[in-house]
Every structure is written in structure tokens, then in C-alpha cells.
Amino acid sequence: MTATQTKTAGQTTPTEQISGSEIVIRALLAEGVETVFGYPGGAIMPIYDALFDYQEQLHHVLVRHEQGGIHAAQGFARVSGKTGVVFATSGPGATNLVTGLADAMIDSTPLVCITGQVFAHLLGTDAFQEVDVINITTPVTKWNFQVTDASEIAPALAKAFFIAKSGRPGPVVVDITKNAQIQETDFAGYEPCKFLRSYRPKPIVRTEYIREAADLINAAKRPFVLFGQGVILGNAEREFQDFIEKGGFPAAWTLLGLSALPTEHPLNVGMLGMHGNYGPNVLTNECDVLIAVGMRFDDRVTGRLDRYARQAKVVHLDIDPSEIDKNVKADVPVWGDCKETLPLLTALLEPKTHPEWLQRFREHDLEEATQVIFDELHPAENRELTMGEVLRYLNELTDGEAIVVTDVGQHQMVASRYAKFRQTRSNVTSGGAGTMGFALPAAIGAKFGAPDRTVVAIAGDGGFQMTMQELGVIQQEGTAVKIMILNNRFLGMVRQWQELFLNRRYSFTDIVSPDFVKVAEAYGIRGAQVSERSNLKNAIQTMLETPGPYLLEVLVGKENNVFPMVPQGCGVGEIRLR
């Protein structure tokens, strides 16, 4: 390394000659990154070589598959609110990230993925492990960029971190050719990026709309608030709670808004959508003003749009102008970060309560409790174990303090419906993409993101087998993740649809599984299987109390269904209780 001096802005900054790889590591440290999930390979070896000297400052978690790496980074980001960082090599290493990128894109998770690429002079020659990563990842990234010269690395990474985290967050890919990693260049320190002229992370808040929204809301007789992940992404949980408390609004959550408001909050009326609660779905079609906060009216939430809240005036608070009117027409669009817009709106609210309107929710709750919930949580002695009772014990034993990471399927819906939360950023699941195999690696990442909290992964027998090789990470790192496999010997969610809509033609949904406890054991992870109700609570308690990682397989009923359900193609008012 040779030190020279350059002049910047009147003062001298020492520059040094360092390699592109070294710049990558220094940039990560300057961005405050402490954990990276990754997998090495030829085209990214120089970066790994540089990393070798920084192991104390930068903890690298060696995953077992790049998909596991990116899901881990997602779990990390979702619980910590920080940006997840992933390393992968060129070609297959990079393509293995694609599922996770798509998942992070639709669920707005901030990630910076650094992929190695072949030497710049080989680009386009079908070189070994050359894949056109930029074009493959374009539709599933918020931004991507290929670096071919070491001098571009620092500015590209600065942009990457800025874009990933600001505004509506999302994943970015920085593809760095091997020559750029090796090349030595002048480095005068890392300059974070705070501004790009072509990029407006947040639209400017328009006070006109705040006023208009407040007038509409103040005049409402049956106001109803829907909240989504935007509340969490905007760190606006406090502002949100103030808002609903002042107006006395019943508030229901989307799958990704879950945990933004404590489950036991008196105004929390439950879950929206296909497998959501009865009241919130039915009463969507009876409210007079619908106030959507940081949610994007996903079709799993709205069901048929022409039967969705036609009677209501809609106020939509969203940071992303392209979400306004995308699915549901807004009468008053409140563009902006809800961290800023909510307090402005709250200030104009008349303090109110809506006891009769809230009572309507209670009545529907009672109906749902008698027809669905009670049997799910307290099944008759002769019934096989239900997923609901597993969640009931988990709630009791963790007191709602755990982070729950779910996979995709019936168990995901049951866990979301019944898990209780006291803290925000406690529910991690793959919402928009519904990526099976998400839970295990995401839970591992979540544990790195929140090392002091209990992290419970809940997966089905199907999804668990999609990424179960990540048990190797737990073995190597000793990550204290608690894993619950709710095994119904079926690809349950698909089987449920086959039962309800396809005359029980169970086409390729019965799935055989290995002995999961033995698999865990092979990785040095303690575990147990439970199939008896009398042992269930103890088994969960043992899982939670055993220090370190633990795998508990629960044999639940084979053909239990998740209800309520808004069948596809129906309106929310047509929700079925059985």
C-alpha cells in the first residue's frame, strides 16, 4: 500500500492504493455491517480473501445454499430493521439468489447482494460461470449495477445501501467483475450516499390531503383502519397507535402488518384477508371510511375487487405513489412516509370512541370463536392434534415475546392467526411471494438480527424439506433457533384446496418425510417428536428451555383445514366459516 495525498474540498485526505476487494470490505464496515451471509466461489474469491483479515469485525455466516443465504439476510433485516448483506459467486451462485430477490422485492426488504462476476474482458463470451446477472435480476431488484473497475466499487456500494434502505425498501444487486476485485486503486475513504437526483425516496407530504383526510375521518360513523408492513418499515408503530387511539378506530392487520400493534391492544380487531378473521372481512363491506396505512391491498386481502368496500370512502396512506389507486381507488391519497403523515393526521383528529361499531367486531368475534377458534385451540380429546393448540401453548410459554418465523402453507396461516405478539418486528414470513423453504434460513438470520430474543421457526413438512440443509449453519454456528415442524404428512394448503374445490382429488400432495428428529441429530441438534396431546405442552416447554437450537416435530391431524376462508374469486363478505 502506498499513501499519497489528494485534495478534497480544501482539506487533504490521505488516499491509499488498495484492492477493489479491500474496498468492498471497508465499505461494508463503514455502513455498519456486522453480519454477512454468503457462499464463496471462483469469481468472488478475491473478496473472500480480503474478508479473511476482517473476521473479527465482520461476521460471515457460511450458508449451505445461496437461497438460504438470502432468506437469512431477509430474516435478519426484518427483525433488526437493518439492511441484510449477501455474498454469492457468479453463475449458479448468483442465480440461486433469484427466488430470495423476488421475495425481498415484493415484501420490500432491504438487502445488498454482492455477486462476483467473470473478468470484464470475458463478459459476453460464455465464460465459465458467466451468467447475465444484471438482466436476470432486473425485474426482481429495486436497483442493480455491474462494476467493472475498482474505482467504481465504493460509489456503487454507497448507492446500493442508500437505495436498499430508503423510501420503500428493496433488494439491490451489485455485480463485481473479478478484475475489479483484484485491481488496486486510489481509495480516499468511503463516502455514504445521501442523494440521487433521479430518485425521490419519499414523496412530499401534502397538507391539503391531510386536511381532507381528517375531515372525512372525523365525519365517519364506522371508520375502519387497515394496517400493513408500511407501519413497521416506517418505524411508525408509536405514531400508528396514537392515531387509532385518538380516533378510537378498530384496526385490522395484513399478514405483513402483524406485530406492529400488540395482539392484546383493545383496538386490534384481527387479521384481514383470505384466512383472516371474520369480523374484519365482513365489516370491510360495512364501514363508511376505510383508512389504509402502509398496506397495498394485495388480492389475498381484498378478494374480488368489485365486491370490496364499495360503500366506503377510502383514505390511503402510502409512501409509494404507484400503490395509490393500483388495486383500490383512493378518495383521499395521503402520499408520504407514514412516520410523518400519521402524526399530522392525528393532530387534526377529534378524539372519539366508537363503542357500537366496535361491538359489531366483538359480535363477529364471538361467532368465529364458537364456530372455528374454540375447536382449533381446544380440540375435543378424540381429535388429532391441531396446529392451533400448538400455537396456544407457544403463546402461553413465550408470553408473546418470541419472534415467530413461518414458512408457507396452512401452518403459516394458523400461526399468523393465533400467535400473540407484544413487540413489533416479531413476525417474519414470506407474504407476497409465498416462498416455501423460507422459514428455516430466515429464522437463522433473525436470530443473528435479534440475538437476545427467542426465535421460533414454524414450518410444514413440505417447506422444511426445501431448505433443511441450512441445519448445517445451525450446527456450525450454534445458532439457537427453535424449530417446530407441524407435520401433517401432506402439502396441506394445496390439499385443502383439492379437498374443497377439486373433489378431494389429492394429486401429488401426500408427501413422505425423513425422520426429522434423526436428521436434526445428524447435525448435532437436539430434538423430539410429539404426537400426544398430553405431552404437547411439555414438549414445547423442553424445546424452549433447552439451551441452544432444538427441533420439535409435532404430528398434527392429516386433514385439518384452515378456516375462515374467502374462496378465490369471492368477495370478502362471502367468507366461509366452514
Ligand X SMILES: Cc1cc2nc3c(=O)[nH]c(=O)nc-3n(C[C@H](O)[C@H](O)[C@H](O)COP(=O)(O)OP(=O)(O)OC[C@H]3O[C@@H](n4cnc5c(N)ncnc54)[C@H](O)[C@@H]3O)c2cc1C
Ligand Y SMILES: Cc1ncc(C[n+]2csc(CCOP(=O)(O)OP(=O)(O)O)c2C)c(N)n1
Residues 6+ apart with CB under 8 A from 463: 407, 408, 409, 436, 437, 438, 439
Residues 6+ apart with CB under 8 A from 108: 168, 169, 170, 229, 233
Q: Minimum distance between the CB of residue 351 and ligand Y, rounded to whole angstroms?
A: 43
Pick the binder of ligand X from 41, 234, 463, 492 (CB under 6 A): 234
295 as an active site residue: the answer is no
All three cell numbers of 56, joined, read: 473479527
Pick the binder of ligand X from 105, 154, 158, 319 (CB under 6 A): 319
320 binds other proteins (CB under 8 A): yes
Q: Minimum distance between the CB of residue 407 and ligand Y, rounded to whole angstroms?
A: 6
Q: Minimum distance between the CB of residue 120 and other proteins, rounded to whole angstroms?
A: 13
Residues 6+ apart with CB under 8 A from 347: none
**Which amino acid is it at 306?**
D
66 as an active site residue: the answer is yes
Q: Minimum distance between the CB of residue 111 and ligand Y, rounded to whole angstroms?
A: 19
Pick the binder of other proteins from 7, 9, 195, 306 (CB under 8 A): 195
Q: Active site residue: 159, 178, 313, 339, which one?
A: 178
Distance CA 469, CA 92 (A): 17
Residue 14 vs 321, nearer CB to other proteins? 321
Pick the binder of ligand X from 431, 462, 492, 549 (CB under 6 A): 431
Strands (E), 498-537: 526-530
3-state secondary structure of 398: helix
529 as an active site residue: the answer is no
In 348-386, where does DSSP find H-type helix? 355-368, 374-377
206 binds other proteins (CB under 8 A): yes
Residue 199 vs 506, nearer CB to other proteins? 199
Which of ligand Y, other proteins, ligand X, none binds 460 (CB below 5-8 Å, type-dependent)? ligand Y
Which span (44-52, 346-354, 427-435, 454-462) binds ligand X, by CB under 6 A? 427-435
Distance CA 413, CA 104 (A): 20
What are the angstrom distances between the C-alpha of 268 and each of 263, 277, 452?
6, 11, 27
115 binds other proteins (CB under 8 A): no
Total number of residues that touch ligand Y (CB under 6 A): 19
129 as an active site residue: the answer is yes
Distance CA 174, CA 164 (A): 11
Pick the binder of other proteins from 243, 335, 361, 421 (CB under 8 A): 335
Which of other proteins, ligand Y, ligand X, none binds 431 (CB below 5-8 Å, type-dependent)? ligand X
**Which amino acid is it at 116?**
G
Q: Minimum distance between the CB of residue 66 and ligand X, rounded to whole angstroms?
A: 22
Which of ligand Y, other proteins, ligand X, none binds 69 (CB below 5-8 Å, type-dependent)? none
3-state secondary structure of 47: helix
All three cell numbers of 106, joined, read: 415484493
Residue 455 and residue 446 in contact, taking contact as beta carbons nearer than 8 Å: yes
Which of ligand Y, ligand X, other proteins, none binds 208 (CB below 5-8 Å, type-dependent)? other proteins
* First CA to last CA distance, the chain: 71
Distance CA 90, CA 117 (A): 5
The site for other proteins (CB under 8 A) is made up of 134-135, 138-139, 142-146, 163, 194-200, 203-204, 206, 208-209, 320-322, 325-326, 333, 335
